[in-house]
């Protein structure tokens, strides 16, 4: 029996559309064991079958290695909400692939995990930090494997995470983003991506805030989150330096380097938005982990 723990992720980090992502200290736990028939517990009944994304990823990985699929007993315990912009699907994909390797004795390194997970997920901005930990800038050269640049994130930083009680589906969020932008917008983004990664590394929140001024996706996606403007106002007035949409939303993430400010802001957010779930998170530095039980 094995247990796999995978961190949630915040993709884009505001300025890095489809390129940046960060692992955060919210986790999904998956327990696997070989079985005579497929058994899945810990998730809604409609996902307790062979179409479960964890099991689909498990089977895809086995076939990648030329191994016939086999049934497992799978139990899921997750802190990561579905369709809220925190990489819930990536936790499932990564866990399935890692379980396939562990239960067949197939040795994979993190680069191989990223490659297979990217093929399943479609892009590496969530799966790469879920596997590697830290903040990751990812790109895939034409006809080549994903390239992942991992950055340490200052342990002084705290990320106040606000999860509204409604979904924003990635497919809908992508529809509102323009498919072409002016050259000036592309230039605007490029320098700020470097500023964001450097600011996260050094804990320079003034630099993070200055860099976090996206023109590619947030101006369009914020309209899909009814509470965006009100939450942003409360966060900035409450001491956070900046805020971004996590992935495609609806989760919002604000940043501070003061734990007291983070706790006071969390109280204020709970008072003003009682329907929202809030967490004070740090960057997860380890990425996905496996434990033999």
Binding site, by residue number, is 81-91
Q: Cα–Cα distance between 250 and 64 in angstroms, integer?
A: 34
Would you tell me how many other CB atoms lie within 10 Å of the CB of residue 183? 7
Which one, of 112, 137, 111, 264, lies nearest residue 201 by Cα?
Answer: 137
Would you tell me how many other CB atoms lie within 10 Å of the CB of residue 223? 10
Q: Is the bond leading into 26 cis (omega within 30 degrees of zero)?
A: no
Annotated binding site for ATP: 81-91
DSSP assigned state of 293: -
Would you tell me how many other CB atoms lie within 10 Å of the CB of residue 186? 11
Q: Cα–Cα distance between 214 and 196 in angstroms, integer?
A: 11
Q: Cα–Cα distance between 246 and 225 in angstroms, integer?
A: 11
Q: How far is CA 283 from the centre of its chain?
A: 11
């Amino acid at each position: 029996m094995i247990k796999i723990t995978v961190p949630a992720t915040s993709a884009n980090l505001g300025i890095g559309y489809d390129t940046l992502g960060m692992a955060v200290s919210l986790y999904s736990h998956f327990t696997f064991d070989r079985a005579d028939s497929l058994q899945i517990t810990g998730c809604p009944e409609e996902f307790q079958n062979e179409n479960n994304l964890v099991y689909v990823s498990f089977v895809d990985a086995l076939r990648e290695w030329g191994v016939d699929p086999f049934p497992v007993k799978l139990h899921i315990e997750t802190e990561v909400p579905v369709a809220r912009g925190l990489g819930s699907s990536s936790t499932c994909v990564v866990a399935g692939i890692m379980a396939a390797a562990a239960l067949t004795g197939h040795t994979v390194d993190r680069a191989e995990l990223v490659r297979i997970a990217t093929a399943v997920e479609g892009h590496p901005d969530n799966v790469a930090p879920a596997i590697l930990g830290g903040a990751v800038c990812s790109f895939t050269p034409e006809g080549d494997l994903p390239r992942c640049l991992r950055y340490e994130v200052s342990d002084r930083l705290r990320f106040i995470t606000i999860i509204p009680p409604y979904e924003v589906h990635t497919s809908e969020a992508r529809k509102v983003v323009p498919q072409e932008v002016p050259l000036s917008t592309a230039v605007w983004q490029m320098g700020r991506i470097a500023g964001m990664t450097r600011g996260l590394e050094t804990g320079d929140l003034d630099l993070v805030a200055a860099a976090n001024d996206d023109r590619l996706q947030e101006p369009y996606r914020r309209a899909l989150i009814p509470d965006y403007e009100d939450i942003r106002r409360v966060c900035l007035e409450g001491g956070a330096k900046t805020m971004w949409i996590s992935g495609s939303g609806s989760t919002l993430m604000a940043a501070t380097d003061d734990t007291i400010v983070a706790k006071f802001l969390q109280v204020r957010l709970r008072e003003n938005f009682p329907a929202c779930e809030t967490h004070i998170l740090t960057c997860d530095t380890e990425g996905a982990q496996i434990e033999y039980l």
